[in-house]
Amino acid sequence: MADNIVLEKFLYDLLPLVMSQHSEKDAVESFAKSVKEVFGIDTFNVRRAAVLDMHSGGLYSYVTNTKKPYIDNQLSEYSEFPELIDFKNSGYASCAIMPIMVGGHTTGVLEMLSKMENRFSKDILGSLSIGAAFIGLTLGYYSESIRSKNLATYFDSAFGSNSANFLISSSGKILKANKRAISTFGINQTSKPDIKQVLGVNLDEIKKMQPNAPLKIVLNISGERRIFNAYYSVISQSTAYIALTDISDSELLYGISESLDGTGKIAALSLDENFDIIGSFGKLGGLTIDTKELDIRKLRLESTMPAHDYNALKSSLSEKGKTEIKTEITLGGYKQKAYLSVSKTAFGYMCIVLSAELEESVKTLSDNLMDFISVTSDITLIVDQNGIISSANLPAEQLLGYKKEQLLGRDIRSIYYEQDILDRDISYVKNGGKVDGSYVNLKKSNSELMPGTHSLRLFFDGNSYFYAIMIKELQTKRLISDIEMQNKKLESQALNFKRTSELKSQFIYNISHELKTPLTNIKGFAKLMHDGEFGAITDDQKEYINTILDEADRLMVIIMQVLDAAKLEANKVKLDLKEVNLADFANNPSIKALEESAKNKGLQFSWNVDYDVPAITADMNRLIQVFVNLIGNSIKFTESGSIKVHVYKFNRNKIVCEVKDTGIGISDDDKKKLFRKFYQASKKGNVKPDGTGTGLGLAITKEIIGLHRGNIRFESEQGKGSRFWFTIPISQNFVSRKKHRDQG
């Protein structure tokens, strides 16, 4: 621990010395003073090479020539060098002479003398070797330029400009970085960033590296992934040194070499200017093309191939600087038909050797592809590099409607409706991509369009390339998909209509309900005025008040119909089901009032209920409302003749209620819209009756009958009258039981 403290103090003394602007003399004196104080050495001298006799055969000549330190810890009168005898005679007991090295050259020596024996241990010499390096750099750079006084320049020169170097603290902070590190990683030295911010790994991970096994670090530099070897060494307890070497190109070359070795089909030969093989890697068949199996120092490219091929290769190279040739190459006693691609390089030539066996593989692949095309049920076309169809299977003829001879030799673009899609996909595949499931429309022989998806692949047959296009027919699937999409759209519209209708119904219900109160007040006060409660009125005034009362009654009927329609649409109407005898309806005040109205118009009116019609379960008031609407319409549209109501038993579960008149009938246009809300049928085919209706009567009638689980129908002929009838269950309990049974 004490030695570490001494070394740490020594290094901290050295750093300010190197970073200062002292003169050479002051720097040497400061360095000597530090050595004496830290290591307790009696005498320390820096002797420059310029003042030493390097060839005298003495001690200094020995150190400078061998570049090794000399240590004698027990000086005597019998030492081998005369300088050592002089040291002994001067009172010293041990000495150490260390070379000062700069750039591989000895520029001087450090002379250290002590009056104690065994003063210079390995630990002291190890520490002093760092000092020798520092003072050597200082002295060397002083002689070159003043910039050697700066630690940054020391880093640039000592660590070289081709690798990134860092001086870091024990906590991982970057104390100093050379120019390559600053430019590569964009380091701001003022902020002293942490090494993890720059390299992506913390100091503890770096410290775990084995001395001879650098840490590989992958970093993104300017958008490009680069690989670095990181080397770590300790300078002191508080300072360490990291060097980064970019090995990206080496890794790439290694990856290429490994890939070539794995194929067994390709090798690379490095040739000098005389076509001698100076390097190789890869495999060709069963032969590994490297120095382990080939004595490349005795091998020339000329000896590996027939003479005429070699001469043709050299002739082409001299003209173009690169060439390709197919030949039979012999390496290590192994013969192989191969393609050779040779290019001129800075060191000579690079020769890529490709096994011609690939041609057979391609041929086999092509044969297999054609077999597959012949059996697949999808449209499959083979298209050459010029876009001409060279092969088509049977489904292509059947689905597109062309004969085979019409397809072969045809431009593929002629059967595509969206030619830009085809051009885009072919370009993508040609550049190394794959296309699957691209939507297209093909033009059939009858000019109809056939929707589909196509997939494209690019193949090589050794000399040229071709495309395989597989097309899946989607007409049926697309039709189904279109219908489904249309259904979803309609469902969405229906939902919106329903919401709008509900809002409309709620508004109508609210506004109609609000109208009842003021209308009741109007009618009440008009009645009081009519009866003289506010004083006597004249006959004319009484007639006006009667008009007010009549119009108020009619307005109340309209409001009640609108309320009914809104309630029915909002499903707010609940039936008050009771046992009802339809024969008794003849004496109902509402029916009686209608009978009186018909007779006043000169019409015959009859109400007949067959003897076997039983009492039914129904809402009596709602059924009266239905009859009032149907009979009221008959009276409105009948000028002469009769109105007949007939109720009879349809079967054991249902009855039929029929209203028949001899009125003007219903036109064909009106029949289609008769049960719509707010629709009023025209009278005599061209005018509305008298403006008293709302167009809600029949719509309300249909809803009420529907609530009773019944159905309403009609038949009519213009000029001959109309017949409306509806069926209704005798028992609502029966309907509920039947519905439950059907659902179960």
Given 324, 355, 386, which residue is the final one in a domain?
355
Taking residue 651's Cβ as centre, other Cβ atoms within 10 Å add up to 9
How deeply is 464 buried, as exposed, middle or buried, from its count of CB atoms within 10 A (0-12, 13-18, 19+)? exposed
What are the C-alpha distances in Å from 168 to residues 195, 242, 417?
8, 8, 67
Task: State the pLDDT confidence band at 616, using cuts at 50, 70 and 90.
Answer: very high
59 backbone dihedrals φ, ψ, rounded to 5°: -60, -45
Answer for the pair 228, 201: CB distance below 8 angstroms, yes or no: no
Domains in the chain, number: 6
Judge whether residue 737 has pLDDT over 50. Answer: no
Specify whether 312 is located in the same domain as 421.
Answer: no
**Would you say residue 130 lies in a domain?**
yes
**Would you say residue 587 lies in a domain?**
yes
Answer for the pair 644, 663: CB distance below 8 angstroms, yes or no: no
Judge whether residue 160 has pLDDT over 60. Answer: no
Cα–Cα distance measured from residue 211 to residue 221, given in angstroms and rounded to the nearest whole number = 26
Task: State the pLDDT confidence band at 254, using cuts at 50, 70 and 90.
Answer: low
698 backbone dihedrals φ, ψ, rounded to 5°: -70, -35
Please provide the size of the chain in residues: 744
pLDDT value of residue 599:
93
- Note the pLDDT tens digit of each residue in 364-407: 666 666 666 766 778 888 899 899 998 888 888 888 899 989 99
**Would you say residue 744 lies in a domain?**
no
Higher model confidence: residue 73 or residue 129? 73
- Tokens 């072919």 identify what position? 426
Which residues neighbour 337 within 8 Å (Cβ) at sequence distance 6 or greater?
A: 326, 327, 328, 355, 356, 357
Taking residue 242's Cβ as centre, other Cβ atoms within 10 Å add up to 22
Specify whether 370 is located in the same domain as 350.
Answer: no
- Dihedral through CA 696, CA 701, CA 704, CA 706, nearest 10? -110
Instruction: Flag whether the pTM goes above 0.85.
Output: no
Q: If DSSP states are collapsed to H, E and C, what string results for 669-687? A: HHHCCCCCCCCCCCECCCE
Specify whether 115 is located in the same domain as 237.
Answer: no
- Note the pLDDT tens digit of each residue in 453-490: 898 988 876 567 888 888 888 766 667 777 888 888 88
Judge whether residue 583 has pLDDT over 60. Answer: yes
Higher model confidence: residue 248 or residue 10? 248
Cα–Cα distance measured from residue 334 to residue 289, given in angstroms and rounded to the nearest whole number = 11
pLDDT value of residue 155:
46
Give the helix ranges, DSSP H, for 192-247: 195-199, 203-207
Backbone torsion region of residue 685, taken as left when φ is above 0, otherwise alpha when ψ lies between -120 and 50, otherwise beta: left
Provide mean pLDDT across the span 437-449. Answer: 90
Specify whether 464 is located in the same domain as 510.
Answer: no
Residue-wise DSSP of 159-184: S-SSSEEEEEETTSBEEEE-HHHHHH
Give which of 1, 106, 92 is closest to 47, Cα–Cα. 106
pLDDT value of residue 148:
35
- Strands 224-234 and 215-221: what pairing? antiparallel
**Would you say residue 61 lies in a domain?**
yes
Handedness of CA 723, 726, 727, 729 (dihedral sign): negative
Judge whether residue 41 has pLDDT over 80. Answer: yes
Answer for the pair 588, 623: CB distance below 8 angstroms, yes or no: no
Task: State the pLDDT confidence band at 296, using cuts at 50, 70 and 90.
Answer: low
Task: State the pLDDT confidence band at 243, using cuts at 50, 70 and 90.
Answer: confident
Specify whether 650 is located in the same domain as 701.
Answer: yes
Cα–Cα distance measured from residue 620 to residue 66, given in angstroms and rounded to the nearest whole number = 131
pLDDT value of residue 511:
66
- Long-range CB pairs of 68-74 (<8 Å, 24+ gap) are 68/99, 69/96, 69/97, 69/98, 69/99, 69/125, 69/129, 70/96, 70/97, 71/95, 71/96, 71/97, 71/120, 71/125, 72/96, 73/117, 73/118, 73/119, 73/120, 74/117, 74/118
Cα–Cα distance measured from residue 153 to residue 130, given in angstroms and rounded to the nearest whole number = 18
Cα–Cα distance measured from residue 383 to residue 362, given in angstroms and rounded to the nearest whole number = 17
Q: If DSSP states are collapsed to H, E and C, what string results for 512-574? A: HHHHHHHHHHHHHHHHHHHCCCCCCCCHHHHHHHHHHHHHHHHHHHHHHHHHHHHHHHCCCCC
Specify the amino acid at residue 183: S
Specify whether 326 is located in the same domain as 394.
Answer: no
First and final C-alpha spacing in the chain = 94
**Would you say residue 633 lies in a domain?**
yes
User: What residue numbers bound the domain in which 503 lies?
Assistant: 479-565
pLDDT value of residue 408:
92
Given 302, 321, 355, which residue is the final one in a domain?
355
**Would you say residue 156 lies in a domain?**
no
Cα–Cα distance measured from residue 407 to residue 341, given in angstroms and rounded to the nearest whole number = 39
How deeply is 426 buried, as exposed, middle or buried, from its count of CB atoms within 10 A (0-12, 13-18, 19+)? buried
Cα–Cα distance measured from residue 665 to residue 671, given in angstroms and rounded to the nearest whole number = 10
pLDDT value of residue 646:
94
User: Looking at residue 703, which CATH number applies to its domain?
Assistant: 3.30.565.10
Specify whether 612 is located in the same domain as 695.
Answer: yes
Portion of the chain with pLDDT greater than 90, in percent? 16
Cα–Cα distance measured from residue 247 to residue 229, given in angstroms and rounded to the nearest whole number = 7
**Would you say residue 502 lies in a domain?**
yes
Given 195, 213, 246, which residue is the final one in a domain?
246
Which residues neighbour 287 within 8 Å (Cβ) at sequence distance 6 or greater?
A: 293, 331, 332, 334
Tell me the HSE value of 191 on the side-chain side, using a 13 A CA sphere: 9
Task: State the pLDDT confidence band at 631, using cuts at 50, 70 and 90.
Answer: very high
Specify whether 51 is located in the same domain as 136.
Answer: yes
Look over the chain and give the mean of its residue pLDDT values, rounded to a whole number.
Answer: 78
pLDDT value of residue 662:
93
Specify whether 584 is located in the same domain as 703.
Answer: yes
Q: Please, what's the largest Cα pairwise distance for the chain?
A: 168
Cα–Cα distance measured from residue 252 to residue 504, given in angstroms and rounded to the nearest whole number = 74
Cα 275 from chain centre: 52
User: Looking at residue 82, which CATH number applies to its domain?
Assistant: 3.30.450.40
For the chain, the 3-state helix, strand and coil shares in percent, each to the nearest 5, are 45, 25, 25
**Would you say residue 629 lies in a domain?**
yes
How deeply is 674 buried, as exposed, middle or buried, from its count of CB atoms within 10 A (0-12, 13-18, 19+)? middle
User: Looking at residue 224, which CATH number applies to its domain?
Assistant: 3.30.450.20
pLDDT value of residue 508:
66
Specify whether 347 is located in the same domain as 380.
Answer: no
Judge whether residue 687 has pLDDT over 50. Answer: no
Specify whether 92 is located in the same domain as 142.
Answer: yes
Specify whether 57 is located in the same domain as 76.
Answer: yes
Residue 354's DSSP bridge partners are: 266, 339
Residue-wise DSSP of 138-156: HHHHHHH-GGGGSHHHHHH
